[in-house]
Amino acid sequence: MSRTTSYPQTMPPTRPEISSDGPEPARTRWAQLATSADHKDIGRILVSVAFGSIFLAALELLLMRAQLAVPENVFLKGVTFDRLLSVYGETAIFLVALPLIIGLLYYVVPLQIGSRTTAIPRVGQTGLWLFIFGGILLYGSFLFTPPEAGINPLPPFSDATFNPNNGVDVWIGSTGLITLGLLMVAIDLLATLHNLRAPGMAWRRAPLFTWAGAIVTWLFVVIAPIFLAAISMLMIDRLYDGGFFAGDEGGSPILWQHLSYIFFTGVYMSVAITFLAAIGEIVQTFTGRELPRKAVTRSFVAIAIIGTLAWTQNMLTVPIPSGWKYFGMLMSLALIVPFGLIFYNLISTVSQSDFHMRAPLRFALGALSLASIGLAAEIAQSTIAVATQLSETYDAWAATHFTLIGFVLFGGFAAVTYWYPKMTGRQLNEDRAAKSFGLMFVGTIIALLPLFAAGVSGQVTDSYRYFSFEDLGVYNLIAGIGTLILFVGIVLAIGNLVASRSEEPAATPDPYRGDSLEWLALSPPPAHNFDVLPDVHSTRPMRDIREAVIRRDAETAAAEDAAPVSA
Amino acid sequence: MSLFISLAGVLIAFALNATPAMALSLNPDAASPGIEDANTLHWILFVVILAVIVVVNLAILKAARPRSRAVTPKPGRKVSQVKLAIGLGVFALALFVVATVFSDKSREIPAVNAEPVAGQVKGEPLEITATGSQWLWRFNYPNGAFSYRRLTVPAGVTVQLDLVSTDVVHGWNVPELTGKAQAIPGKTNKVYFRADDPGVYTSRSSVLSGQGYDTMEIEVNVVSPEEYEAAIEELKTDIQDAQDKVEAQFKAERDKSEAAADQVGKAETNNDAESAEAE
């Protein structure tokens, strides 16, 4: 069993002779980056944009919590709050969660399957730029009218009659560009996964994160067109009096809720799958143990299918046939099985192992802790009787945020700190990472726990103020303080990611003695990833390579014992 | 180590902050039979959820414990994944059965009162229409009276509330009586309740509907059947009075303007006559 060596890492490269830097780039660094169709450049841009957007989303959340910190506050106007809320929702989903999962998968998975490139790189490159234009459109709209119709702009409220300004058009345009762009990146990754795996890399040997890549990209290929269709209909309604979502013209506002919630639920599940797989990789590497692959990968598939089918869990107060509501309840409660299996395996594997606590594992365990609170609280939200009480309140908000902050923020930091040496070629400052983790973790708890209480006391979401007779002040004040702590933690953690790139020593290709093939490439990998494509014989190809190197070195040493080669 | 401290902090924070707060305010005062079932289910789930959170987080805490480097790791006990999945499946199914039983009970139409009140068909619930509009609820009673913001209902009478909307989606939300239900344009969402005791329940809409969303209040005033009948009769009379007043005013205005027109007409005729004479 391989044990992690102690920190800091100063090990020489495992096998320096099989990787090279490749030819010098012909263009300057930024021109190279902007015109690159390389999956690593695109993945890094997506991940960087996601981390920049984490800062923006946290800032918007902080402003909203500041407005809600005391009753009858006049810090923000109602319309400003609605705009912050709408932009916050879009940022968190479309500029943080989605690019983070797609970007990480797009960076890491081709390396893990031992591929030199992606299958259709120009498609991925086009996708990146569509995504970037979508982001520019959203934040550029602060110059005229940002979206103001809520996190999910329900028609008819988002129709031209009730929202005549450009806010909803911006929402449609930016989410459309982002979804289309990321769909193209996902399609490229999917083609790569099915065509460019290294010799011997059968599905049964593919790493967990690669499995997550396959499941998430397939899921995205299913749900993204549904969303694109829905926003196209909304656009036709707004611009050309389409009537798809108009109740009195043969359409139905409920149709929008079905279509949009299929997409949002699918995104929620994609996020969960991706970061559980990243946490799985981290746990495997740092404990030196393998998770039960069949159980975990099958659980991922189950989460993708059952979880997305549970979309009516969001619609328990809507007049739809009650069969749909029971179906949504059954599917959400069935999710207990795959989530429970994965959580059990991850936690018990860590518990039964000896390891040195490193930043990625710390973030990973934090992610599991926070997500467990959110997922457990979702149990109440998914039963019809309790949902008629608690949906559309801060209880639902807190449950969703515990899960998504757990997975996206903590899982995201876990994954990025884990692959940081690979992506940047530098080590990460782990002391600062541990400190920022503590702040973020405590901040999240303080920011969200009181909101459960506010929600059961009846505080409804999306309102820019509440009144002192509602007795909600204390919960919101505590939540505001927690959000401030969380914000400081996020700023420090992102600052650490930036500062470590210039301050910390260079990283070796294989700093943790990982088992999957991304650790074979240099840190950062050259444009063509690998000089020699490895043969894969097991689920732990990198360990095989290390053992082969040790064997060969021993043989060489034995053969040339009499005449040692000078260095 | 800091993870250890943070996780311990979670449990302490949970114990100090959320649990009593949640336990105290978990139940809205159930004023209708269905809400009692919802509250019971919420209590059961609250205990289950709290247990799950505590067990999972204690396990994470144990997993994250600081290791002494001298101790060699124990080989893990093998647990059959299939058995684990079956166990979790049984747990999920049990929750589904419990949730279905209580959800069915809470969705049942409460037993209809024997003595119908005015406007109620015997053996059927009293039908009142609640119409959401930006940013006011309007309630139409069977006798043709209507009111805004404040709904008056008789105690001990089963009420069927037909939720409709004239513009955007509005969130009907009275936790003590009906819970939440969306009023969607082009569709009628029916909720049933029976408030057994008089009382006043205030709340506010729960779906973002625009600039006046934060002031879109709901007040349900539960009174005795006699008071209810008197109240809606009074409403009807008031509305009729207001209508009469408007008509009277309109009539007065019209008479006045007609009289003025007559005068002008007369004056003009006179003028004509005078000018004719002059010629």
In this predicted model, what pLDDT tens digit does every residue of B120-166 receive, in sequence order? Answer: 888 899 999 999 998 899 999 998 999 999 999 999 999 999 999 99
Q: What percent of chain A has pLDDT over 70?
A: 95
Contact: A376, B206; criterion CB under 8 Å: no
Which of A389-398, A522-531, B250-259 is predicted most confidently? A389-398
pLDDT of amino acid B34: 87
Reply yes or no on whether the pLDDT at B18 is more than 80: no
**Token pair for residue A429?**
């400052």
Indicate whether A406 pLDDT > 90: yes
Question: What spatial distance separates the first Cα and last Cα of chain B, rounded to whole Å?
Answer: 117
- Chain A residues within 8 A of B73 when measuring between CB atoms: 352-354
Residues of A in contact with B214 (CB under 8 A): 78, 463-466
Interatomic CA distance for residues A111 and A117, integer angstroms = 9
> Which range marks the domain in which residue B57 is found?
2-65+79-107
What pLDDT does A251 receive?
86
* CA-based nearest residue in chain B for residue A339: B88
Which of B32, B80, B131, B182 should one mutate to test binding to chain A, selecting the residue with the greatest count of A CBs within 10 A? B182
Q: Report the distance separating Cα A60 and Cα B110, nearest Å.
A: 45
- Residues of chain B with pLDDT > 90, as a percent, come to 54
- Tell me whether residues A458 and B81 touch, CB distance under 8 A: no
Interface of B with A in 59-78 (CB under 8 A): 59-60, 62-64, 66-67, 69, 71-77
State mean pLDDT over B171-188.
92
A10 within domain boundaries: no
- Tell whether the model's pLDDT for residue A432 goes beyond 50: yes
Do residues B89 and B139 share a domain? no
In this prediction, residue A174 has a pLDDT band, given cuts at 50, 70 and 90, of very high
Residue A378 one-letter amino acid? E
Identify the CA nearest to A280 among candidates A303, A313, A256, A312.
A303
- Distance from the Cα of B112 to chain A's closest Cα (Å) equals 21
The reply to whether residue A82 touches residue B208, judged by beta carbons under 8 angstroms, is yes
Q: Which residue has the tokens 């490439």?
A: A521
* Chain A neighbors of B7, CB-CB under 8 A: 369
Q: Which residue of A has its CA nearest to B212?
A: A78
Contact B7, A443 (CB under 8 A): no
Residue B33 lies in a domain: yes
Give mean pLDDT, residues B169-176. 92
Kindly state whether residue B112 falls inside one of the protein's structural domains: no
Of A347, A380, A437, Cβ closest to residue B59: A347
Residue A83 class from Cβ within 10 Å (0-12 exposed, 13-18 middle, 19+ buried)?
buried
Q: Which residue has the higher pLDDT, B23 or A243?
A: A243
- When the pLDDT of each residue in chain A is averaged and rounded to a whole number, the result is 91
**pLDDT given at position B16:** 53
Cis peptide before B135 (omega within 30 of 0): yes
B7 pLDDT exceeds 80?
no
**A301 lies in a domain?**
yes
Number of domains present in the structure of chain B: 2
**What value does the mean pLDDT take over residues A337-359?**
92
Q: What is the pLDDT of residue B274?
A: 60
Query: CB-CB: which of A372, A385, A435 is closest to B103?
Result: A385
pLDDT for residue A493 is more than 80: yes
Which of B7, B180, B213 lies closest to A388 in CB terms? B180
CB atoms within 10 A of CB A484: 17
- Model confidence at A60: pLDDT above 70: yes
Which residues from A are below 8 Å from B182, CB to CB?
317-319
**Residue of chain B whose alpha carbon sits nearest to that of A333:** B92
Answer whether residue A242 is part of any domain: yes
Residue A292 to residue B63, Cβ atoms within 8 A = no
Angle, vertex CA A392, rays to CA B196 and CA B184, nearest 5: 80
As for how many domains chain A has, the answer is 1
| Partners of residue A355 in chain B, C-beta under 8 Å | 67
What phi and psi, each to the nearest 5 degrees, are found at residue B168?
Answer: -110, 180
Q: Alpha helices, DSSP H only, in A10-120?
A: 29-35, 39-68, 78-90, 98-112
Q: Which residues of B touch A243 (CB under 8 A)?
A: none
Give the one of A349, A352, A389 whose C-beta lies nearest to B179's C-beta.
Answer: A389
Q: Please check whether residue A106 is in contact with residue A184, taking contact to mean a CB–CB distance below 8 angstroms.
A: no
How many whole angstroms separate alpha carbon A513 and alpha carbon A500?
Answer: 21
Check CB contact under 8 Å for A319 and B184: yes
CATH number at residue B189: 2.60.40.420
Q: Between chains, do A385 and B49 touch, taking CB under 8 Å as contact?
A: no
Domain assignment of residue B212, yes or no: yes
Let me know whether B54 and B21 are in one domain.
yes
**Domain-embedded: residue B116:** no
Give me the mean pLDDT over the B181-189 stretch.
92
Do residues B60 and B131 share a domain? no
Residues of chain A contacting B60 with CB distance shorter than 8 Å = 347, 365, 368-369, 372
Tell me the residues of chain A between 247 and 286 that have a Cβ less than 8 Å away from chain B: 247-248, 252-254
Residue A76 reports pLDDT greater than 60: yes
Helix A39-68 to helix A473-503 angle, to the nearest 10 degrees? 150
**B224, B174: one domain:** yes
Which residues does chain B have within 8 Å of residue A368's beta carbon, measured at their own beta carbons? 56, 60
Burial of A544 (0-12, 13-18, 19+ CB in 10 A): middle
Tokens of A223: 């749900």
Residue A419 lies in a domain: yes
pTM, full prediction: 0.91
SS3 category, B91: helix
Helix (H, G, I), strand (E, B) or coil at A114: coil
Q: What is the pLDDT of residue A5?
A: 40
Residue A561 within any structural domain of the chain: no
Position A40 scores a pLDDT of: 94
Q: Is residue A347 one of the residues assigned to a domain?
A: yes
% of chain A with per-residue pLDDT over 90: 77
**In the prediction, which pLDDT does A7 show?**
40
Contact between chains at A366 and B3 (C-beta distance less than 8 A): yes
Kindly report, residue by residue over B192-225, the tens digit of the pLDDT.
999 988 999 999 999 999 888 988 999 999 999 9
What is the per-residue pLDDT across A272-323, written as a single tens digit (0 to 9) for each? 999 999 999 999 999 989 999 999 999 999 999 999 999 999 999 999 999 9
Are A518 and A14 a contacting pair, CB within 8 Å?
no
Find the CB nearest A248 among B37, B173, B185.
B185
Residues B136, B167 share a domain: yes
Structure tokens at B120: 């109620």
B213–chain A Cβ distance below 8 A for any pair:
yes
Name residues 21-60 of chain A within 8 A of B (Cβ). none
pLDDT at B278 (0 to 100)? 58
Q: How far is B210 from chain A (nearest CA, A)?
A: 8
User: Scanning every residue of chain A, which has its alpha carbon at the shortest distance from the alpha carbon of B52?
Assistant: A376
CA-to-CA dists, residue A108 to A39, A102, B115, angstroms: 9, 10, 72
For residue B257, is it within any domain?
A: no
Residue B70 has pLDDT above 70, yes or no: no
The answer on pLDDT for B29 being more than 90 is no
Q: How far is CA A119 from CA A40, A106, A298, in A?
A: 13, 12, 26
- Inside any domain, residue B11: yes
Kindly tell me the sign of the dihedral angle through the C-alpha atoms of A131, A134, A135, A136: positive
Q: Is residue B73 part of a domain?
A: no
A273 close to A407: Cβ distance less than 8 angstroms: no
Residue numbers of the domain that contains A480:
39-546
> Looking at chain A, which residue has its C-alpha nearest residue B87?
A337
Residue of chain A whose Cα is closest to the Cα of B86:
A337
Any B CB within 8 A of A164 CB: no
Find the CB nearest A389 among B38, B100, B171.
B38
The larger pLDDT score, comparing residue A305 to residue A503, is at A305
B97 and B160 in a single domain? The answer is no
pLDDT band at A193 (very low <50, low <70, confident <90, very high): very high
Question: Residue A104: what pLDDT?
Answer: 97
Cα–Cα nearest to B32, from B232, B246, B167, B177: B177
Q: Is residue A118 domain-resident? A: yes
The answer on B157 and B84 residing in a single domain is no
A17 occurs within a structural domain:
no
**Cβ-based contacts of A334 with chain B (< 8 Å):** 89, 92, 96
CA–CA gap between residue A182 and residue A175 (Å, rounded): 10
Give the mean pLDDT of A32-44: 91
ipTM of the modeled complex: 0.89
Q: What confidence category does residue B69 fall into, taking pLDDT thresholds of 50, 70 and 90?
A: low
- Residue B47 in domain: yes
* Domain of residue A43, CATH code: 1.20.210.10
A-B contacts at Cβ under 8 angstroms: 275
What pLDDT was estimated at residue A343? 96
